[in-house]
Structure 1
Amino acid sequence: MLIPGGHYRLAFTHSILALSQLINAPTHYRLDYPDLALILALVRGGSLARAAQLLKVDVSTVFRAVRRLEAALGQQLFEKSRAGYLPTSLAQTLAEQAERAEQALDAARIGVEQGGEIISGTVRLTCTDSVLQGLLLPALAQFMPAYPALTLELSTSNDFANLSRRDADIALRLTRTPPEHLVGRCLAQVSYRVCGSTAYLETITEQELTALTWIAPDDFLPDHPTIAWRRQHWPGVVPGYRCNSMLSVTELVRAGLGVAALPDFLIGDGLQPLSDPLPGCDTALWLLTRPDCRALRSVVTLFDELGRALKLP
C-alpha cells in the first residue's frame, strides 16, 4: 500500500516521541539489539509462549527479560489481558524500529554472502487488479525470491495518476497510447473475447449472445473498450450485473452468473470463449516508469525482471 506523505510525517513524529521517552527514562537505559528483538518477538507472537518459540528460548526467560527491560526503562511495554500480551504505543513504535533494524541486518548479511552485489530498497508499483492477479503475481513468484533485500509496495489503480504524482515508480497498464511523459516498453498485445463458464453454458438453451445474462464494468470504467464495443454492436443489451473492476467481472463469470468480454490473460480454467477476438477492443500491455527513475538501481532491476518474466498465455 502506498502511504501519503503526511502519514510518514506522523509515523516519524511518533518514533521521535517514543525515543525521547527513552532518553528521558529515569535510568537512562541504553537499548541494544537484543532488547529490540525481544520486543519485536512479543509483539509478533502476542504471548510469552509464542515469543519464546520465535526467540528459541524458554517462556520463563522471556518473562524475566521483559520484566527487567520494563524496570530498566521505567515504563510499561506490555499489558497482559485474556487475549495475550498487548503492546503499549511505546512497544509498538519500538517494534517498528526493530523490524527496520532486522531488515537492515538481513540486507547486510546478504551483501556479505553475495560479495557486496545486492539490490535493496523499496520500489512502488501500480497496476490494475486484473493485471495483478492474472499476470503480475505469477511473474513475481519467479524472480522476487532472488532479491530478499528488495521491498515491493503494490497499489491497484485504473489510471496513470500514481506515476504522474510520483506516488509510484513503475506501472503496468493496458493501453493503446501510454502518456508521452513516461518511458517504457510494450510487452504484448491483448485481445478480448466473450466468455462464459462451462457450468453456465451447460444450463442455457439460448444460443444468441444478446439473449444471455451479461456482466460488465459500466459504472466505474465508462471508457473501457468492451463497453464501447457492446454499445456499438449490441445497443439493446442491458447487463444484469455491473462491477467496479475487470477482476470482479471475471469472478462473476467464473461463478456461472453470465457472460462477459474478457482479456485473453484472464481466460483460464473453467471459462470458455464464445467469440473470436472482438474488433476494436484490442489493446497492449505496457511496462512504464518515470524518466528520473532510470537512475535508481532497484527500479531498473525490477523493471528489467518484469520485462523478462511477464508472458501472456
Structure 2
Amino acid sequence: MLNAAMHYQLDYADLSLILALVRGGTLARAAALLRVDVSTVFRAVRRLEAALGQTLFEKSRAGYLPTGLASNLAQQAERAEQALEAARIGVEQGGEVISGTVRLTCTDSVLQGLLLPALTQFMPDYPALSLELTTSNDFANLSRRDADIALRLTRTPPEHLVGRCLGRVSYQVCASTDYAARHAGCELAELAWIAPDDFLPDHPTVVWRRQHLPGVRPSYRCNSMLSVTELVRAGLGVAALPDFLLGSGLQALGPVLTGHDTALWLLTRPDCRALRSVVTLFDELGKQVRLPQG
C-alpha cells in the first residue's frame, strides 16, 4: 500500500473530488457539486484511497467526515481553485489580477458602520480577491497571525503592528426620537442607560459615564456597541454612541463627549506588506473608509 501511495500522482480531478466531498459532507451533495451521479463519487473515493494507501474519509451517521489528510488536501484544492479562477479572470480582463484570500478583523460596529460601505465601493473591481471577515475586539487576532488586516478603535495601537490612522471618532449621548420626546426635561441620570458589558471595561463611553454619572447603573448591558446602538434605536434607553453609528431615528442629547474620543486605525503585520493581496486591500481601505466629518 505504501509503495502505491509513493507512485501515485495526485491530479486536479482528485483534488476537486476531495474538495466536493469536504464541502458537501455527503455523497449526494458532492455528486451535485461535481455534476455526476452518486455511484461515480463513491467509486472515485474508494479508488483514490486505495491508490494513496490512506483513508480520506470516515463514514458516520452525519455523512462523510474528512481525515486530517483530506482536510489538508481540501485546503490545497481551494488554493488551486482560486488560482484557476484568477487565471480565467486575467484572460477575460486582458491583464494581471489581484487574487488570494485576505483575513480581515474588526468590531461588529465598525463592520456595519464603516467597512461595509467601503467594501461595496471597491470589491467588485477585484473578483478574484476573497475576504474572510471576523468580528472581535482583540488585537491578538493579528499578533497570533489569525488575521492579516485589522480595523481597530484605539488611541495607542500596538507598536509591533504597522498602519495608519484613518481619523478621529467622537461619542455623543443619544436616544431614539420617541424616547427623547417622552423624557424631555429629565436629567441624564434619571434615564435608562444602555452600556457595553465587562468586555470593554476601558471603553471611552464607560470611562465618561463613571466620571460624570457615577451613580448610574445601566438597565441594559450588551457585548457589542452595535447591540447597544440597536437597543437605543428601539427606544429602550440612552447611550453614548460613536459618531459613525448615528443615523435616522437617533437624536443627540448633548454635545460631543470632550476628551473621550478615540481613533480608527488600519493595521497589519510587517510581514504582510510583501503580499500583494494584503497591500491592495490595505490601500483600498485607506482610501474608501470614510469617517463622519466633525
The alignment's TM-score, normalised by the length of structure 1, stands at 0.75
1:197 aligns with 2:181: no
> Which runs of no fewer than 5 residues in structure 2 stay unpaired?
none
What is the identity percentage for the equivalent residue pairs of Structure 1 and Structure 2?
Answer: 82
SS for the counterpart of 2:236 is coil
User: Any idea what the Cα deviations from partners look like across 1:109-168, whole Å, max 9, x if unmatched?
Assistant: 334444452223444434333212321133223322332443444454546555567765
1:107-186 to 2 correspondence within 5 Å? 107-158=86-137, 160=139, 168-176=147-155, 178=157, 184-186=163-165
- Could you tell me which residue of structure 2 aligns to residue 212 of structure 1? 191
Q: Which moved more, 1:235-244 or 1:255-264?
A: 235-244
| Whole-angstrom distance in 2 between the partners of 1:75 and 1:185 | 49
| Whole-angstrom distance in 2 between the partners of 1:64 and 1:295 | 43
Number of residues of Structure 1 aligned to a counterpart in Structure 2: 292
- Could you tell me which residue of structure 1 aligns to residue 255 of structure 2? 276
RMSD (Å), alpha carbons: 3.4
SS for the counterpart of 1:236 is coil
> Which runs of no fewer than 5 residues in structure 1 stay unpaired?
1-21
SS for the counterpart of 1:261 is strand
| Whole-angstrom distance in 1 between the partners of 2:2 and 2:122 | 43
Amino acid at match of 1:104: A
User: Any idea what the Cα deviations from partners look like across 1:179-213, whole Å, max 9, x if unmatched?
Assistant: 67765444333221212235655765773321111
Kept in 2: contact 1:218–1:227 (CA 8 A): no
1:65 aligns with 2:44: yes
Match of 1:230 among 201, 204, 209: 209
1:3-42 to 2 correspondence within 5 Å? 24-25=3-4, 28-42=7-21
| Whole-angstrom distance in 2 between the partners of 1:27 and 1:166 | 34
Kept in 2: contact 1:206–1:212 (CA 8 A): no
SS for the counterpart of 2:152 is strand
Kept in 2: contact 1:27–1:74 (CA 8 A): no
Q: Which moved more, 1:172-181 or 1:52-61?
A: 172-181
Q: Which moved more, 1:120-129 or 1:44-53?
A: 120-129
Cα distance change of structure 1 residues 297 and 41 upon mapping to structure 2, 3 Å threshold: closer
Deviation at 1:31, TM superposition (A): 2.3
| Whole-angstrom distance in 1 between the partners of 2:90 and 2:64 | 35
| Whole-angstrom distance in 2 between the partners of 1:23 and 1:268 | 65
